[in-house]
Chains A and B, each alone.
Chain A
Amino acid sequence: MTDHVHHGPPNHPPSRFRSLSEVLAPPAARSMLPLFVLVVAVLVPFGVKDAFTLGILTDSLIYVVLALSYDLSVGRVGALSLAHPAFFGTGAYAAAIIVQRYGLPLGLQVLIAISASIVLAVVIGIPAFRLSHLTFGMATLGFALIAELIAQNEIGLTNGPLCMAGLSPLSSGWLSSFGFDQNVQQYYIFLVIAVAVAVFFWVLVRSRIGRAYVAVREDEPMAMAAGINPTRYRMSAFVIGAGLAGLIGAFYAHYLSVVCPTKLDISYTVNLLVILFLGGTGGFWGIIAAAFVFTAIPEALQVAPNIRLIVYGAALLVGVTALPEGFEGATRTVRRRLARYARGNRA
């Protein structure tokens, strides 16, 4: 506690928590990392044959997209929105409704799903961004809960708690010509989406826009002095994140083949917050790694959802309470102690 390093003013939006991997991996290894990860990801279906494991990995890829899109508003511009599952659910419901009513092709479904989420994000964002940090969070939560109530009550549109079924699983003629079965095809389709979104995210946060996001997050008056309109940039991060969530929502609807109101549930927000804050908000590899760790481990261990949530709740409570500087601070302390210990041994 005594050597607490203070970053920025106290009521500051989430400043960058650096993740374990980023602190520990040397730069040379890091430059090879994308290629290595990609090769491993492509080769996985040749080694992993059972549908269960492949399903877990596909789920993790979906969480990678969701977490990165959520981080645009939470980590990049520091707007802690609690409405992310609403955009995901809007995309999923848009796809399901279009399939059931109009039978349009997948490409159009995805386009409409993205547009619907973007429109919803603009509708939510215009009033919500007038508010301060905490009230912004609560107002977005209010909108998210209204969205869930609509999904549950508008039976004529969404089928209510009976869910919408009848979506066909994803497949690709080109992939099936290699002799891959349905699960492998879906895995590759979600891998392509995840890589595309990750590349888009990477390019966006390193562009002029991405630097403006950081400027808005770190020092709003300074950003305004540099001619950056903070609200416009916050809004753009929020809306782009919503569009990406809508996109993955549409594909997810096909992957699960049913869409239920529980897909808009706050438990998704909890999972995503655990991934972001333990993976490192405002990061990249940390978030991707955390998306895999926090999706795959509970599934692989066959933990009951209830027990998983007990562990997640405790992790959030203890993690945030006991590690004031996130994992970055914790790893720094550990490394300092290790270094001191090593010096002590030599002397």
Chain B
Amino acid sequence: MTFFASEIVNGLVLASFFALVAGGLALIFGVVGIVNFAHGDFVMIAGYFFYELYVHLQLPYLIAILLTVLGTAVFGGSIYWLALRHLVERAWYAQLLATLGLSILFENIAQQIWSPNALSVATPSTLQVAIHIGVGANVTVQDVYVFIGTAVCLICLWLIITKWRWGKAMRAVAQNREACVVSGINVKLVALLAFALSTALCGLAACLVLPMQDVFPTVGLSFTTQAFVVVILGGMGSVRGAVVAAVIVGLVEALAAGYISSGYTDAFGYAIMILILLVRPTGLFGDRVQRSGWSSL
């Protein structure tokens, strides 16, 4: 029971991370209209930002987090404006290839700057205190931080896209781009904001997860594929679906790693995705009817 409970806690921590990364990926797909294969690499870059700020410059924990999130958002926004903006109206395979190129570029430049070796960040000792909860699982303050951080962040995201003027514009652009252009919404600026917002989520995800996960240049690809698993499972472009799917994938992977084999953690995520797609080719929350899957994206 103790083991099961601690695997559930691990699964929920993993789910929080997936929810932040995949939520951003879904936002980019839905609002900007880009298949972003470099998404996980933004998490990787953010991890290095955080490492530099927190370990090298020795800034306080919360200030380092804040600066990382801002820095990643600015970095993501600039990359979008410089390169990815030109891919918006292009076919999906062109977007996939170009962002795959971007991902390789990030990965190898990071390798040049920070070496291929894994870097780890020690959490402040105040965060490593264990809290004992009823069922016998040990929860650290760090875990609680991850849950609270994710929850606050997702609530903010929800408030942004339902209440804020520009957030409403994002949903409008996701629903009908042409109508937004006609009614005077600055679609280009909305897309830039959405991209920067989702890379900010990557930045936060990196800060929350970094003490538990080392950062190295090739880690981005596995984040990307995991995020795609979650987004495809939840239904392309649905942020709500991505959050639900993140919980499913997080729990399945943690339990499989605990009870079956830790070498195959990622494989169970893919297996779940493939199984669910067999039953629902559009994902859990994908409501677009696809009669022949090949005639539309």
- Interface of A with B (CB < 8 Å)? 10-14, 80, 127-128, 130-139, 141-143, 145-146, 149-150, 152-153, 220-221, 230, 234, 266, 270, 273, 277, 306-307, 309-310, 312-322, 324
1/0 contact trace for B275-296 toward A, CB 8 Å? 0011001000000001011111
| B-side contacts of A143, CB under 8 Å | 270, 274
In the complex, what distance in Å separates the CA atom of A312 from the CA atom of B106?
Answer: 12
- B205 interface hit (Cβ, 8 Å): no
- B159 interface hit (Cβ, 8 Å): no
The answer on a CB contact under 8 Å between B277 and A152 is no
| B-side contacts of A307, CB under 8 Å | 108
The contact of A131 among B92, B102, B277, by CB within 8 Å, is: B277
**Which label, helix, strand, loop or mixed, suits the secondary structure of the A interface?**
helix
Asked, given contacts A142-B229, A146-B271, whether A310 binds B109 with beta carbons under 8 Å apart, the answer is yes
| B-side contacts of A152, CB under 8 Å | 263
For residue B106, give the distance in angstroms from its CB to the closest CB of chain A.
8
The answer on a CB contact under 8 Å between A153 and B263 is yes
| B-side contacts of A316, CB under 8 Å | 97-98, 100-101, 104
In the complex, what distance in Å separates the CA atom of A127 from the CA atom of B111?
Answer: 36
Q: Could you write out 11 A-B pairs with CB less than 8 Å apart?
A: A10-B91, A11-B91, A13-B294, A131-B277, A131-B281, A132-B294, A133-B93, A134-B297, A135-B232, A149-B263, A313-B104
The answer on a CB contact under 8 Å between B100 and A270 is yes
- B130 interface hit (Cβ, 8 Å): no
| A-side contacts of B146, CB under 8 Å | none
The answer on a CB contact under 8 Å between A317 and B281 is no
The contact of B281 among A80, A130, A149, by CB within 8 Å, is: A130
The answer on a CB contact under 8 Å between A321 and B92 is no
Binds A, one of B82-90, B121-129, B251-259: B82-90
- B112 interface hit (Cβ, 8 Å): yes
The answer on a CB contact under 8 Å between A80 and B96 is yes
For residue B219, give the distance in angstroms from its CB to the closest CB of chain A.
13
In the complex, what distance in Å separates the CA atom of A152 from the CA atom of B262?
Answer: 12
For residue B117, give the distance in angstroms from its CB to the closest CB of chain A.
14
The answer on a CB contact under 8 Å between A230 and B221 is no
For residue A238, give the distance in angstroms from its CB to the closest CB of chain B.
13
